[in-house]
Amino acid sequence: MSEFLEIDAPAKINLFLALTGKRGDGFNQLISVISKLELKDTLKIRKSGKPGSLALTCPEYPDLETTQNLVVQAIDAWRKESGENMGLEIVLDKKIPLEAGLGGGSSDAVAALLGVNSLSPDPLSEEKLLAIAAKIGSDCPVFLQPGICQVEGRGELVTPLDLPGRCNQEILLFRPPLGHPTGQIFQIFEKIGKYSEEDGARKKIKQWQSGETALQDFIYNDLEQAVFSKYLYFAPLYEEIRNQFGLHSMLSGSGSASFSLLPQDFDREADLRAMIMDSLGEEVWFCRTRLHS
Protein backbone atom coordinates (compact mmCIF):
# COMPACT_ATOMS: atom_id res chain seq x y z
CA MET A 1 0.00 0.00 0.00
CA SER A 2 1.33 3.46 -0.91
CA GLU A 3 2.41 6.01 1.69
CA PHE A 4 0.24 8.94 2.61
CA LEU A 5 0.78 12.34 1.02
CA GLU A 6 0.37 15.04 3.70
CA ILE A 7 -1.19 18.41 2.84
CA ASP A 8 -1.52 21.41 5.18
CA ALA A 9 -4.94 23.08 5.40
CA PRO A 10 -4.39 26.45 7.11
CA ALA A 11 -7.03 28.45 8.91
CA LYS A 12 -7.81 32.02 7.83
CA ILE A 13 -9.06 35.24 9.29
CA ASN A 14 -10.68 38.17 7.54
CA LEU A 15 -8.62 41.22 8.41
CA PHE A 16 -11.09 43.32 6.43
CA LEU A 17 -14.56 42.39 5.18
CA ALA A 18 -16.82 44.86 3.39
CA LEU A 19 -20.11 43.80 1.84
CA THR A 20 -20.93 46.17 -0.99
CA GLY A 21 -24.27 44.92 -2.33
CA LYS A 22 -26.50 42.03 -3.28
CA ARG A 23 -25.66 40.13 -6.46
CA GLY A 24 -28.12 38.85 -9.03
CA ASP A 25 -27.20 35.25 -8.15
CA GLY A 26 -28.28 35.75 -4.52
CA PHE A 27 -24.77 36.07 -3.08
CA ASN A 28 -23.39 39.22 -1.52
CA GLN A 29 -20.70 41.18 -3.33
CA LEU A 30 -17.67 41.54 -1.08
CA ILE A 31 -14.23 43.07 -0.84
CA SER A 32 -12.07 41.38 1.75
CA VAL A 33 -8.48 40.97 2.88
CA ILE A 34 -7.79 37.44 4.11
CA SER A 35 -4.72 36.07 5.84
CA LYS A 36 -3.91 32.43 6.32
CA LEU A 37 -2.74 31.41 9.79
CA GLU A 38 -0.14 29.05 11.24
CA LEU A 39 -3.08 27.18 12.83
CA LYS A 40 -3.94 24.36 10.45
CA ASP A 41 -5.67 21.07 9.83
CA THR A 42 -3.67 18.29 8.19
CA LEU A 43 -5.05 16.09 5.42
CA LYS A 44 -3.35 12.81 4.54
CA ILE A 45 -4.30 11.12 1.26
CA ARG A 46 -3.21 8.03 -0.66
CA LYS A 47 -4.41 5.71 -3.38
CA SER A 48 -6.26 2.81 -1.83
CA GLY A 49 -9.13 0.42 -2.42
CA LYS A 50 -11.28 -0.18 -5.43
CA PRO A 51 -11.69 2.39 -8.22
CA GLY A 52 -14.28 4.96 -7.19
CA SER A 53 -13.98 4.24 -3.47
CA LEU A 54 -13.32 6.94 -0.87
CA ALA A 55 -12.61 6.16 2.78
CA LEU A 56 -12.62 9.35 4.91
CA THR A 57 -11.56 9.21 8.55
CA CYS A 58 -11.71 12.18 10.90
CA PRO A 59 -10.65 10.96 14.36
CA GLU A 60 -11.53 14.14 16.29
CA TYR A 61 -14.89 14.66 14.55
CA PRO A 62 -16.38 11.34 13.37
CA ASP A 63 -19.62 13.16 12.55
CA LEU A 64 -17.75 14.74 9.63
CA GLU A 65 -17.22 11.38 7.93
CA THR A 66 -20.17 11.90 5.58
CA THR A 67 -20.89 12.91 2.00
CA GLN A 68 -21.77 16.39 3.30
CA ASN A 69 -18.11 17.03 4.11
CA LEU A 70 -16.59 19.47 1.62
CA VAL A 71 -13.61 17.12 1.30
CA VAL A 72 -15.88 14.47 -0.21
CA GLN A 73 -17.54 17.05 -2.46
CA ALA A 74 -14.12 18.26 -3.62
CA ILE A 75 -13.03 14.73 -4.54
CA ASP A 76 -16.30 14.08 -6.36
CA ALA A 77 -15.92 17.32 -8.34
CA TRP A 78 -12.29 16.53 -9.21
CA ARG A 79 -13.23 13.05 -10.41
CA LYS A 80 -16.00 14.45 -12.58
CA GLU A 81 -13.71 17.06 -14.14
CA SER A 82 -10.68 14.80 -14.62
CA GLY A 83 -12.45 11.60 -15.62
CA GLU A 84 -10.17 9.67 -13.23
CA ASN A 85 -11.64 7.36 -10.64
CA MET A 86 -8.79 6.13 -8.43
CA GLY A 87 -9.70 4.73 -5.04
CA LEU A 88 -8.66 6.99 -2.17
CA GLU A 89 -8.10 6.91 1.57
CA ILE A 90 -8.12 10.23 3.45
CA VAL A 91 -7.36 10.94 7.09
CA LEU A 92 -8.30 14.43 8.27
CA ASP A 93 -6.64 15.69 11.44
CA LYS A 94 -8.73 18.67 12.53
CA LYS A 95 -7.43 21.45 14.73
CA ILE A 96 -9.58 24.28 13.33
CA PRO A 97 -12.94 24.52 15.14
CA LEU A 98 -16.22 24.23 13.25
CA GLU A 99 -18.59 27.12 12.45
CA ALA A 100 -15.96 29.58 13.60
CA GLY A 101 -15.40 31.82 10.56
CA LEU A 102 -11.87 30.40 10.21
CA GLY A 103 -12.41 28.63 6.90
CA GLY A 104 -11.58 25.12 8.13
CA GLY A 105 -14.01 23.23 5.90
CA SER A 106 -13.05 25.23 2.82
CA SER A 107 -9.34 24.81 3.50
CA ASP A 108 -9.79 21.06 3.97
CA ALA A 109 -11.60 20.86 0.63
CA VAL A 110 -8.78 22.66 -1.18
CA ALA A 111 -6.20 20.43 0.52
CA ALA A 112 -8.12 17.43 -0.83
CA LEU A 113 -8.11 18.94 -4.33
CA LEU A 114 -4.37 19.58 -4.19
CA GLY A 115 -3.74 16.13 -2.78
CA VAL A 116 -5.70 14.10 -5.30
CA ASN A 117 -4.36 16.26 -8.12
CA SER A 118 -0.81 15.49 -6.99
CA LEU A 119 -1.55 11.75 -7.06
CA SER A 120 -2.85 11.90 -10.62
CA PRO A 121 -0.62 11.03 -13.60
CA ASP A 122 -2.54 13.72 -15.53
CA PRO A 123 -3.20 16.55 -13.06
CA LEU A 124 -5.70 19.31 -13.72
CA SER A 125 -4.47 22.83 -14.43
CA GLU A 126 -4.50 25.58 -11.80
CA GLU A 127 -7.32 27.23 -13.75
CA LYS A 128 -9.50 24.11 -13.53
CA LEU A 129 -8.73 23.67 -9.83
CA LEU A 130 -9.78 27.28 -9.24
CA ALA A 131 -13.06 26.69 -11.08
CA ILE A 132 -13.78 23.61 -8.96
CA ALA A 133 -12.89 25.45 -5.75
CA ALA A 134 -15.21 28.34 -6.58
CA LYS A 135 -18.12 25.95 -7.06
CA ILE A 136 -17.50 24.20 -3.75
CA GLY A 137 -17.60 27.34 -1.61
CA SER A 138 -16.95 31.07 -1.59
CA ASP A 139 -14.02 30.74 0.82
CA CYS A 140 -12.26 27.99 -1.16
CA PRO A 141 -10.39 29.90 -3.93
CA VAL A 142 -8.29 31.94 -1.49
CA PHE A 143 -6.68 28.74 -0.18
CA LEU A 144 -5.13 28.14 -3.61
CA GLN A 145 -2.99 31.25 -3.11
CA PRO A 146 -0.31 31.85 -0.46
CA GLY A 147 -0.07 34.67 2.03
CA ILE A 148 -2.41 37.62 2.49
CA CYS A 149 -4.87 38.13 -0.37
CA GLN A 150 -7.49 40.60 -1.51
CA VAL A 151 -10.70 38.76 -2.35
CA GLU A 152 -13.62 40.08 -4.38
CA GLY A 153 -16.82 39.00 -6.12
CA ARG A 154 -18.37 36.32 -3.92
CA GLY A 155 -14.87 35.05 -3.10
CA GLU A 156 -13.71 33.71 -6.46
CA LEU A 157 -11.53 36.70 -7.44
CA VAL A 158 -8.28 36.39 -5.48
CA THR A 159 -5.23 38.66 -5.70
CA PRO A 160 -2.15 38.05 -3.52
CA LEU A 161 -0.93 41.24 -1.84
CA ASP A 162 2.74 42.18 -1.69
CA LEU A 163 3.18 42.86 2.02
CA PRO A 164 6.77 42.17 3.06
CA GLY A 165 7.21 41.87 6.80
CA ARG A 166 3.48 41.75 7.56
CA CYS A 167 3.30 38.04 8.38
CA ASN A 168 4.82 38.14 11.87
CA GLN A 169 1.70 39.49 13.57
CA GLU A 170 0.62 37.33 16.49
CA ILE A 171 -3.04 36.97 17.42
CA LEU A 172 -5.07 35.25 20.09
CA LEU A 173 -8.06 33.40 18.64
CA PHE A 174 -11.00 32.67 20.91
CA ARG A 175 -14.34 31.01 20.23
CA PRO A 176 -17.33 30.60 22.55
CA PRO A 177 -18.80 27.09 22.91
CA LEU A 178 -21.26 27.58 20.05
CA GLY A 179 -20.94 28.06 16.31
CA HIS A 180 -22.45 30.58 13.92
CA PRO A 181 -24.13 29.11 10.81
CA THR A 182 -22.83 31.35 8.04
CA GLY A 183 -26.09 31.47 6.10
CA GLN A 184 -28.02 32.61 9.15
CA ILE A 185 -25.61 35.48 9.82
CA PHE A 186 -25.86 36.69 6.22
CA GLN A 187 -29.67 36.56 6.42
CA ILE A 188 -29.61 38.77 9.50
CA PHE A 189 -27.24 41.19 7.78
CA GLU A 190 -29.53 41.47 4.76
CA LYS A 191 -32.39 42.46 7.06
CA ILE A 192 -30.63 44.98 9.31
CA GLY A 193 -27.15 45.63 7.94
CA LYS A 194 -25.84 48.59 5.99
CA TYR A 195 -23.70 47.85 2.93
CA SER A 196 -20.30 49.47 2.57
CA GLU A 197 -19.38 51.84 -0.23
CA GLU A 198 -17.11 50.04 -2.70
CA ASP A 199 -14.74 52.92 -3.47
CA GLY A 200 -14.29 53.61 0.23
CA ALA A 201 -13.44 49.98 0.92
CA ARG A 202 -10.82 49.92 -1.84
CA LYS A 203 -9.28 53.14 -0.53
CA LYS A 204 -8.92 51.70 2.97
CA ILE A 205 -7.16 48.60 1.62
CA LYS A 206 -4.74 50.70 -0.44
CA GLN A 207 -3.94 52.88 2.57
CA TRP A 208 -3.13 49.83 4.68
CA GLN A 209 -1.17 48.17 1.88
CA SER A 210 0.98 51.30 1.46
CA GLY A 211 1.64 51.54 5.20
CA GLU A 212 -0.42 54.70 5.75
CA THR A 213 -2.79 52.83 8.10
CA ALA A 214 -1.75 50.56 10.97
CA LEU A 215 -3.25 47.09 11.16
CA GLN A 216 -5.20 47.83 14.35
CA ASP A 217 -6.88 50.77 12.58
CA PHE A 218 -7.49 48.77 9.40
CA ILE A 219 -9.33 45.70 10.67
CA TYR A 220 -13.05 45.87 9.86
CA ASN A 221 -15.97 43.47 9.43
CA ASP A 222 -19.44 44.39 8.13
CA LEU A 223 -20.87 41.13 9.51
CA GLU A 224 -20.35 42.38 13.06
CA GLN A 225 -23.55 44.39 12.51
CA ALA A 226 -25.51 41.14 12.24
CA VAL A 227 -23.61 39.19 14.88
CA PHE A 228 -23.74 41.95 17.50
CA SER A 229 -27.52 42.19 17.07
CA LYS A 230 -27.99 38.48 17.83
CA TYR A 231 -25.15 37.80 20.28
CA LEU A 232 -24.98 40.72 22.68
CA TYR A 233 -21.79 39.74 24.48
CA PHE A 234 -19.25 40.41 21.70
CA ALA A 235 -19.22 44.22 21.60
CA PRO A 236 -18.82 44.78 25.37
CA LEU A 237 -16.17 42.04 25.52
CA TYR A 238 -14.11 43.70 22.78
CA GLU A 239 -14.41 47.03 24.60
CA GLU A 240 -13.28 45.47 27.88
CA ILE A 241 -10.29 43.83 26.17
CA ARG A 242 -9.29 47.20 24.79
CA ASN A 243 -9.78 48.98 28.10
CA GLN A 244 -7.83 46.45 30.18
CA PHE A 245 -5.15 45.32 27.72
CA GLY A 246 -5.04 47.97 24.99
CA LEU A 247 -5.76 45.30 22.33
CA HIS A 248 -7.90 45.58 19.23
CA SER A 249 -10.29 42.67 18.65
CA MET A 250 -12.64 41.65 15.85
CA LEU A 251 -14.87 38.85 14.64
CA SER A 252 -13.47 36.67 11.83
CA GLY A 253 -15.94 36.34 8.99
CA SER A 254 -19.34 35.35 10.34
CA GLY A 255 -17.82 34.02 13.57
CA SER A 256 -18.07 32.61 16.08
CA ALA A 257 -14.29 32.98 16.47
CA SER A 258 -12.75 36.34 17.27
CA PHE A 259 -9.16 37.48 17.35
CA SER A 260 -7.16 40.00 19.32
CA LEU A 261 -4.04 41.55 17.81
CA LEU A 262 -1.08 40.94 20.14
CA PRO A 263 1.93 43.24 20.41
CA GLN A 264 5.40 41.75 20.24
CA ASP A 265 6.36 39.83 23.40
CA PHE A 266 2.85 40.09 24.86
CA ASP A 267 3.10 38.46 28.31
CA ARG A 268 -0.40 38.88 29.75
CA GLU A 269 -2.06 36.03 27.87
CA ALA A 270 -3.13 34.20 31.05
CA ASP A 271 -4.91 37.31 32.31
CA LEU A 272 -6.50 37.91 28.92
CA ARG A 273 -7.77 34.33 28.71
CA ALA A 274 -9.18 34.54 32.23
CA MET A 275 -11.10 37.72 31.40
CA ILE A 276 -12.52 36.20 28.20
CA MET A 277 -13.61 33.07 30.09
CA ASP A 278 -15.33 35.26 32.68
CA SER A 279 -17.42 36.63 29.81
CA LEU A 280 -17.92 33.57 27.58
CA GLY A 281 -17.57 30.64 30.00
CA GLU A 282 -14.88 28.11 30.81
CA GLU A 283 -15.41 26.11 27.59
CA VAL A 284 -13.94 28.83 25.38
CA TRP A 285 -11.50 27.54 22.74
CA PHE A 286 -8.22 29.47 22.51
CA CYS A 287 -5.28 29.42 20.13
CA ARG A 288 -2.30 31.75 20.03
CA THR A 289 -1.05 31.81 16.46
CA ARG A 290 0.21 34.23 13.83
CA LEU A 291 -0.40 35.36 10.28
CA HIS A 292 1.18 32.95 7.81
CA SER A 293 2.80 33.68 4.47
From 12, 40, 94, 204, the catalytic residue: 12
- Express each pLDDT in 109-162 by its tens digit: 999 999 999 999 999 999 999 999 999 998 999 999 988 999 999 898 999 998
Q: Among residues 36, 40, 41, 139, which one is catalytic?
A: 139
pLDDT, the chain, mean: 94
Q: Are residues 39 and 120 located together in one domain of the fold?
A: yes
State the pLDDT at residue 78: 98
Which tens digits make up the pLDDT trace of 60-76?
Answer: 999 999 999 999 999 99
pLDDT score of 173 more than 90: yes
Evaluate whether residue 165 is within a structural domain.
no
Which of 160, 195, 212 terminates a domain? The answer is 160
**Residue 179 and residue 36 share a domain:** no
The residue among 160, 180, 195 that closes a domain is 160
Both 187 and 261 in one domain: the answer is yes
| Same domain (yes/no): 226, 180 | yes
Predicted local distance difference test score (pLDDT) of residue 1: 63
Question: Residue 293 pLDDT more than 80?
Answer: no
Domain count, the chain: 2
**Strands, E, within the chain: which ranges?**
5-22, 28-47, 54-57, 88-93, 148-153, 157-160, 170-175, 220-221, 249-251, 258-262, 285-292
Give how far the C-alpha of residue 84 lies from the chain's centroid of Cα atoms, to the nearest Å: 29
What pLDDT does residue 262 have?
A: 97
My answer on whether 12 and 104 are in the same domain is yes
Catalytic residue list contains 12: yes
Q: What is the pLDDT of residues 194-210, one digit of tens each?
A: 999 999 999 999 999 99
Domain boundary among 160, 190, 212: 160
Residues 98 and 232 in one domain: no
Q: Is the pTM of this model over 0.85?
A: yes
By CB atoms closer than 10 A (0-12, 13-18, 19+), residue 279 is: middle
17, 87: one domain:
yes
Are residue 153 and residue 174 in the same domain, yes or no? no
Do 153 and 13 share a structural domain?
Answer: yes
119, 214: one domain: no
Omega before 256 within 30 of 0, i.e. cis:
yes
Is 41 part of the annotated catalytic residue set? no
CATH number for position 38? 3.30.230.10
pLDDT at 167 over 70: no
Per-residue pLDDT, 246: 97
Domain identity same for 15 and 81: yes
Secondary structure class of 199 (helix, strand, coil): helix
Does one domain contain both 134 and 18? yes
Mean pLDDT of 95-113: 96
**93 neighbors 42 (Cβ within 8 angstroms):** yes
Expressed as residue numbers, the domain containing 146 is 5-160
